[in-house]
Amino acid sequence: MKVFDRRYEMMARDELEQLQLERLQALLARLKRNVRRYRERIGNVSAESLEDVDRLPFTTPEDLAEGFPYGMFALPLREVVRLHPALGFRGKPLVMGHTRNDLALWGRLVARQLAASGVTPNDVIQVCLGSGVYRGASGYVMGAETIEASVIAEEPFHIDSQLAMLQSYRPTMLVTTPDNARELMEAMDRRRIDPPSFHLRTVLLSRPVTPEARQAFEAGLLVSVRCNFGIEEVLDPGFCIECDQGHFHVNEDQFLVETKDGELVVTTLGREAVPLLRYRTRLACTIRREKCPCGRTGAILEPGPRLDGRLRVREAPLYECQIAEVLAQTRAAGHRFHVEVAERHVVVAIEMSSQLFRDVIWMLTDLQNEIQDEFKTRLGLDADIRLITPRGNA
Amino acid sequence: MLLQVKNLRCGYGSLEVVRGISLHVCAGEIVGLLGANGAGKTTLLKALAGLLRPWRGEILVNGRHAQGLPAWRCVSNAMALVPEGRQIFADMTVRENLLIGGYHNPYRRMDIEVVLERFPRLAERIHQLGGTLSGGEQQMLALGRALMARPKMLLLDEPSMGLAPMAAKEVFAEIVKMKDLGVTVFLVEQNAAATLGIADRAYVMETGEIILEGESLELMRNSGVKRAYLGKGYKEVWE
């Protein structure tokens, strides 16, 4: 497969480390000058080598939430050309700004991933990530434009229109979520559409899936499957490149990665608008620095589970405290509940109490509906509400 | 990497001018260093050329330590400095100036022909005194004098300073041509637009620190370049 940015993707280790050190020092100088929060925390600490990064302060998801909206920006808003809302710690809103350079860089980093997946200027790409839930769509569009592939800018609004697009536009690559890919396979099954009637060669999934799921997609759609791995607050997509060997290579010319007690910690080296110093991602991971047959020298990252109890329902992140907040607006406020994530919805089991209990069925159904509606309006989420008997005081 | 600098600190007396700078230059590149007056650019260059002893940090030329080496050793390390304001020998002829540039080069009498071919204007004035040349010609002479040392790398300190726009343009065109000779260029300049126009990468320096690094195209779009160049900064994000 083609390497888009040979200079940086295959940079010799000593040169890469020199580049990282230079960028880290420049980042510190900029942060001290432009962000009050960092100026106070960094003080006189300097980084004379990459090992010195240990002495620098962390940035936590809580810091980002506190700084909302523009507290972590290193540039005035007049330099920022795009704002992306994101979901931060415990469902609190975040905003990520991008300057013109940030956007160009984003496109270039995604282009690396696309090129590694075999995209050329002759390809047509369909991006179908479900608007509003997964926010990386514009990253893929910019990446495709950087490679000069043709990208279908509009997302299909329905599975049928997606099938029609796949047949009429003849895209060779589909960028989508694992959920959507599954739905697509089911829809093809129902309508008896054969995968060879499409021209798809590759499917790029928005997040890593298990090897079994990957095989199922490959067999069901007759394509090669690639996965993306990103962190919304840092960069998603564009953080890693998945190579032919299935390794996630971090774009180390732009991100300094380390682990702290098994947690992934990332420093953005080149970002202008919202640079992050040692951001604790609340994500378990292991980092390996070894030779890969693909020739890329970026560290190999193996993502693990989330450490902050974040759930995922239909590709959207969800925290338990968000559920508690929704319940607080209903009659079930203050009751204990249990959460379970099903394939397409979330199951919330609420422990009943004497003040909530009615011996008339329609009153209970009414309560269920009320809570369900509350979930739909506040979180846009399909919730299956179950009323259960208390499970003791454990 | 031809030149690698790590955490270089140096200054004059008790005044620290260069405050922990790291940078690198790969063979065949033109790398720019931008910054306003007093940012510490010339001091950094002096330390690289061996004219100033670094306080701390490492300078590696071709992977070998070179910090604290005297200037003549730096020249034999194949780094030649073209100092700020040309500094040619005004009372010597063009030919003598060139020969001095190749003082340690046993083939200097042969190389002079090569340099004169490159700068035909100097050939026309070969017996003229250096001081009688125009600013642009003096700059060409300074470049030619540096080339006489058969350098792998040229350190240029503000080559466009004090030149008429046309002459400056010619000097920049000559610098681009260095690339064809296989000579790597580290170019220190205040003229941000012209430097980014010819450089592959650049660093931006502000009060002794590097605040930005990147490819020329990226830096051209960066507001920080303008700010560093003008020496101005915003105080708060909402300003």
Residue A312: inside a domain: no
Q: Give the domain-ending residue among A254, A280, A307.
A: A307
Q: What distance, in Å, lies between the first and last C-alpha atoms of chain B?
A: 41
- Strands (E) in chain A, as ranges, are 80-87, 93-99, 124-128, 150-152, 173-176, 202-205, 224-227, 240-242, 248-250, 255-260, 263-268, 279-288, 300-306, 311-313, 316-318, 337-341, 346-351, 383-388
**DSSP notation for B4-39:** EEEEEEEEETTEEEEEEEEEEE-TT-EEEEEE-TTS
Q: Give the domain-ending residue among A279, A307, A335.
A: A307
Question: Which of B213, B223, B238 shows the shortest C-beta gap to A79?
Answer: B223
Same domain as A362, residue A257: no
Same domain as A152, residue A87: yes
CATH number of the structural domain spanning residue A25 = 3.40.50.12780
List the strands of the sheet with B30-35, edge to edge: B79-82, B153-157, B184-189, B30-35, B201-206, B209-215
**B216 touching chain A per CB within 8 A:** no
Residue A393: inside a domain: no
Same domain as A323, residue A303: no
pLDDT one-digit tens code per residue, A302-329: 999 988 888 888 777 888 888 888 888 8
**DSSP notation for B53-68:** --SEEEEEETTEE-TT
Pairwise CB contact (< 8 Å): A76 & B239:
yes
pLDDT one-digit tens code per residue, A46-63: 899 999 999 999 999 999
Report how many helices (DSSP H) and strands (DSSP E) chain B contains, helices first.
10, 10
Same domain as A287, residue A205: yes
**DSSP notation for B65-79:** E-TT--HHHHHHTTE
**B200 touching chain A per CB within 8 A:** no
Residue A148 falls in which region: left (phi positive, over 0), alpha (psi -120 to 50) or beta: left
Chain B residues inside the 8 Å CB shell of A270: 214
Partners of A226 in beta bridges = A204
Q: What pLDDT was estimated at residue A83?
A: 92
**B58 touching chain A per CB within 8 A:** no
Check if the beta carbon of residue A88 is closer than 8 Å to that of residue B47. Answer: no
Q: What is the pTM of this model?
A: 0.90
Q: What pLDDT was estimated at residue B228?
A: 58
Pairwise CB contact (< 8 Å): B209 & A29:
yes
Same domain as A287, residue A144: yes
Measure in Å the smallest separation between the Cα of B159 and chain A Cα atoms: 25
**B233 touching chain A per CB within 8 A:** yes
Q: What pLDDT was estimated at residue B239?
A: 40
Residue A394: inside a domain: no
Enclosing H/E stretch for B3: strand B3-12
Report the SS3 class of residue A381.
coil
Check if the beta carbon of residue A129 is closer than 8 Å to that of residue A155. Answer: yes
Count of domains in chain A?
A: 2
Same domain as A293, residue A340: no
Same domain as A346, residue A240: no
**DSSP notation for A218-281:** HHHHTSEEEE---BTTTBSSSSEEE-TTS-EEE-TTTEEEEEETTEEEEEESS-SSS--SSEEE
Q: Quote the CA–CA distance of B98 and B149 in Å, as a whole number.
A: 9
CATH number of the structural domain spanning residue A343 = 3.30.300.30
Q: Write down the ipTM of this complex.
A: 0.89
Check if the beta carbon of residue A25 is closer than 8 Å to that of residue B209. Answer: yes
Residue A1: inside a domain: no
Same domain as A356, residue A261: no
Mean of the per-residue pLDDT values of chain B = 88
Q: What pLDDT was estimated at residue B229?
A: 65
**A81 touching chain B per CB within 8 A:** no
**A15 touching chain B per CB within 8 A:** yes
**B238 touching chain A per CB within 8 A:** yes
Q: Quote the CA–CA distance of B147 and B151 in Å, as a whole number.
A: 6
Question: Which of A23, A33, A49 shows the shortest C-beta gap to B233?
Answer: A33
pLDDT surpassing 80 at residue B27: yes
Chain B residues inside the 8 Å CB shell of A42: none
- Show Cβ contacts of residue B124 under 8 Å, excluding neighbours closer than 6 positions: none
Residue A50: inside a domain: yes
Chain B residues inside the 8 Å CB shell of A100: 221
**Nearest C-alpha neighbor of B197 from the set B231, B223, B168, B224:** B168
Cα–chain-centroid distance for residue A390?
36
Q: What pLDDT was estimated at residue A340?
A: 87
- How distant, in Å, are the alpha carbons of A81, B13, B82, B99 from that of B133? 50, 36, 17, 17
| Lowest-pLDDT range of A1-15, B28-42, B161-175, B223-237 | B223-237
pLDDT surpassing 60 at residue B238: no
Q: Quote the CA–CA distance of A268 and A248 in Å, as a whole number.
A: 17
pLDDT of chain A, 394 residues: tens digit per residue: 689 999 999 999 999 999 999 999 999 999 998 899 999 999 989 899 999 999 999 999 999 999 888 999 998 888 899 998 888 777 788 899 999 999 999 999 999 999 999 999 999 999 998 765 667 889 999 999 999 999 997 888 888 999 999 999 999 999 999 989 999 999 999 999 998 889 999 999 999 999 999 999 999 999 999 999 999 889 989 999 999 999 999 999 999 999 999 999 999 999 999 999 999 999 999 999 999 999 999 999 999 998 888 888 877 788 888 888 888 888 888 888 888 888 778 899 998 888 888 888 898 899 999 999 998 888 888 889 998 888 765 4
Q: What pLDDT was estimated at residue A393?
A: 59
Check if the beta carbon of residue A274 is closer than 8 Å to that of residue A73. Answer: yes
pLDDT surpassing 80 at residue B237: no
Please provide residue A4's backbone torsions phi and psi, each rounded to the nearest 5 degrees: -75, -45
Nearest CA in chain A to B222: A101
**A261 touching chain B per CB within 8 A:** no
**Nearest C-alpha neighbor of A250 from the set A272, A232, A230, A275:** A230
Sole residue written with tokens 């380390």: A258
**A150 touching chain B per CB within 8 A:** no
Check if the beta carbon of residue A31 is closer than 8 Å to that of residue A277. Answer: yes
pLDDT surpassing 70 at residue B91: yes
Residue A314: inside a domain: no
Per-residue HEC secondary structure of A152-184 comes to ECCCCCCHHHHHHHHHHCCCCEEEECHHHHHHH
Greatest C-alpha distance within chain B = 63
Pairwise CB contact (< 8 Å): A77 & B237:
yes
Domain containing A323: what range?
Answer: 319-388
Residue A106: inside a domain: yes
Pairwise CB contact (< 8 Å): A29 & B234:
no
pLDDT surpassing 80 at residue B33: yes
Same domain as A113, residue A26: yes
